[in-house]
A and B are shown apart, each in its own frame.
Chain A
Amino acid sequence: MILGIDTSLGTAVAVVDRDGVVRADESRTDPLGHAEAIGGMLHDALAQAALGPLGATSPEPIALTAVAAGMGPGPFTGLRVGIAAARAFALGRGIPVVPVASHDAAALAILLADPFADLPRFAVVTDARRRELAFTVYEGVDDDGLPARITEPALAPRDDLDARLAEAGAQRRDVDAISGAMVALVAARALAAGRELASTEPLYLRAPDVTVPGARKKVGT
């Protein structure tokens, strides 16, 4: 059973069992308040998952085997809360963290929404603040049931994105929420296939905003 956590946009926590059955799926779309929300949502998701699958008549203990962490891209301050939580939770249980590119989870959600449609190439597009958007281009699923990435996550100025996507021949799919269940499901499929899909580093895609102090300013007399 896998715990999925993502705070790249809103806050999402979910528990998905080995067969891909969603046992708990908590989400808040608020683009702020990740630090406030994460604890209660983890608590509630575990309680919900312990009730068993839909229709179960008695609670059953849940045995988590991994924590899937959405690694972004997303606004940094919020993104870090989920990654920190995923790592600490995993440490507490002595289980591994599986890093997942948040756009992979969004792409899987889009692909699973209509599994029989022959979806053309598309781009998951999310807000990156400062008049920029983050995007990743996908086309269908691969043999492991994972969204097939055509490009790696990248940033584009808001006004340039459509031209970039036209060039890549990808349909634009704006996403404003990442599902914790899909993050967990991507991790489950990656684990089953023995693949590592994302680095353990957060997908910041931007260097920290700093200014190196210049020459001393005159204060005058």
Chain B
Amino acid sequence: MVLMGRAEPLVLGIETSCDETGIGIVRGRTLLSNTIASSMDEHARYGGVVPEVAARAHLEALQPAIEAAVAEAGITLADLDAVAVTSGPGLAGALMVGIGAAKALAVSLDKPLYAVNHLVGHIAADILTGEEVQYPTVALLVSGGHTSLLLVRDLVSDVELLGETMDDAAGEAFDKIARILGLPYPGGPEIDRAAATGDPAAIRFPRGMSRASDMAEHRYDFSFSGLKTAVARWIEQREAAGEPVPVGDVAASFREAVVDVLVTKALDACARHDVPRLLLGGGVIANRRLREVALERAAAAGVAVRIPPLSLCTDNGAMIAALAAELIMSGRAPSTLAFGADSTLPVTEIQVAAA
């Protein structure tokens, strides 16, 4: 195949794993368009992403998003060297919309198709910042859909899952606590706002999966459901006692518990694997307290932190295109047309159905 090893492939990436319809276009490591249509507003009244609502929104958003991305990049579809798509992990019905479109676009244009891993895509987003990226790196990916700690030795061939959440994703925990506090969806920015007036040390909420007994098997795993229950119980007790609920203190203390456990485990992974680099990705990186604590404690530990711009941290198609471009530049053959959506695709499968 002529394409393999090409210097600067022009790739269009399609991402539909959750509630963002992302179309990205890259030329090698250069970002040409990062077009995102979000259905977040449609989920607001349900307090979380509704899979069927997300899938319907993807179908409506895809064509206009592709047209907008192509226009912004100043290319034509016929110029593309390849099409890329997220095949998992994510919401199956949502993924299938992107997969159907990507396969048809590839066949229509007679171009190769690369089916790639969403989580590894988050890591690839860093490449588009235009700065020199070094491996190995530990990567902490935090969003409404995932909370994963990864060790990346090589982006296209060696990504290891160190740990992940055993129950809720961190972003989900923010949404649920916001709901308990009577704050709207999405919870992240609302908790942040409320926390601004609160004391993060006011209430000591539990740090999930952080007991000595957890360290053997779940050193790098996360759990946020116990924290959620602890917050709910604390509020109920206040209410039962007829005392007012200090929303600011609860928000700040809850956020501190989440941030603490995320940063502690990430830096522990850096230390144990002797990797002085930490990459942050996923939509929850928008949380300013998380960035602050990570930067502060990493500096103290001698770990360099990389945080791509937020538009590349939230789910997007550019990261999918970027990962495919790296696969192409390293000589990988395209995927066959036979793959499907894999809602639990392991992070070790960087590319799916390689020919």
Contact = CB atoms under 8 A, between A and B. Distances in A.
Given A35-B99, A39-B338, A85 B55 contact: no
Contacts of A46: 107
Most buried by B among A77, A84, A209: A84
B101 interface: yes
B101 A87 contact: yes
Given A77-B96, A80-B100, A216-B232, A88 B66 contact: yes
Given A36-B338, A39-B338, A92 B233 contact: no
Contacts of B214: none
A213 B176 CA distance: 11
Given A42-B104, A80-B100, A91 B337 contact: no
Contacts of A91: 63, 66-67, 77, 105, 108
Interface residues of A, number: 40
A194 interface: no
A207 B210 CA distance: 43
B103 A210 contact: no
Interface in A184-221: 202, 204, 208-213, 216, 218-221
Interface residues of B, number: 45
A84 B66 contact: no
B100 A209 contact: no
Contacts of A77: 55, 92-93, 96
Contacts of B98: 84
A40 B335 CA distance: 12
Nearest to A217: B232
Nearest to B230: A219
Given A77-B96, A81-B99, A89 B104 contact: yes
A81 B96 contact: yes
B106 A76 contact: no
Interface of A: 7, 33-36, 38-40, 42-43, 46, 76-77, 80-93, 202, 204, 208-213, 216, 218-221
24 contacts: A33-B340, A35-B100, A35-B340, A39-B107, A39-B113, A42-B103, A43-B337, A46-B107, A77-B93, A80-B55, A80-B56, A80-B59, A80-B100, A81-B97, A82-B100, A84-B100, A88-B101, A88-B104, A89-B104, A89-B105, A92-B77, A92-B109, A93-B108, A209-B52
